[in-house]
A = this chain, B = another copy of it.
Amino acid sequence: MTNRSEITRLPERGSRHRETINQILDAAYLAHVGLCVDGQPFVIPMLFGRREDSLLLHGSSASRLLRDLGTGMPACVTVTLVDGLVLARSAFHHSMNYRSVVAFGNARVIEPPRAKIEALRTISEHMMPGRWADARGPNKRELSETTVLEMPIAEASAKARRGPPADDDSDLGWPVWAGVLPLATAALAPIPDPTLADGVAVPDYIDRYAAARPAAA
């Protein structure tokens, strides 16, 4: 994004870099998936999961882009967590605090029903730990209408910025507030489905998820 970024490249197995990358991936639930069709880039938002060194993606079997991805063409999966706006004295040093991962690889379709269900479980648990056990599992028709992809990470880099603005010394006397406005994802009160029977409690795992992302009352 700008200067003062920290880049870690080449996630060797078991290295701290790989840990950094996995921590960012595991803290996020949204990925932006890129692919090229005849030189035209497409970038699509998708939920995702991670299993060891692979990213798991899914979507409708009717999706053209998912089919293209499944052929193994080069893919790029980018995950970004925004932690704050950096408000410097100089316009030039304005920035964002963030953590991001850019991962490259070639996806393949997961075909065997059991492996497919397992991958869907991983994606679901990545989004909301604890939910899978409560949900009605996919049936044969639903499985056939869902394409599940695995992209082994061939190469990835993590990039992050944190901390205060990086103003030049000559600007420190500039007469304006400078600092960071931290941003975070907040969960609001759960909204029950209109058809939900009375008295069905919000599960603990949703309360825990929300408690970790507090919002104003």
Contacts and interface: CB of A to CB of B under 8 A. Distances in A.
Contacts of A190: 177, 179-182
B74 A104 contact: no
26 contacts: A1-B45, A2-B60, A3-B60, A30-B96, A32-B80, A36-B41, A39-B74, A41-B75, A43-B76, A45-B80, A84-B191, A85-B128, A88-B135, A91-B124, A134-B176, A134-B177, A135-B176, A164-B194, A164-B195, A177-B200, A177-B202, A177-B203, A179-B193, A180-B190, A180-B191, A181-B190
Copies of this chain: 2
User: Which among A43, A102, A185, A203 has the greatest number of chain B C-beta atoms within 10 A?
Assistant: A43
Interface residues of A, number: 97
Contacts of A210: 181
B186 A206 contact: no
Contacts of A216: 186, 214-217
A87 B128 contact: yes
A18 interface: no
A6 interface: no
A182 B200 CA distance: 18
B206 A91 contact: no
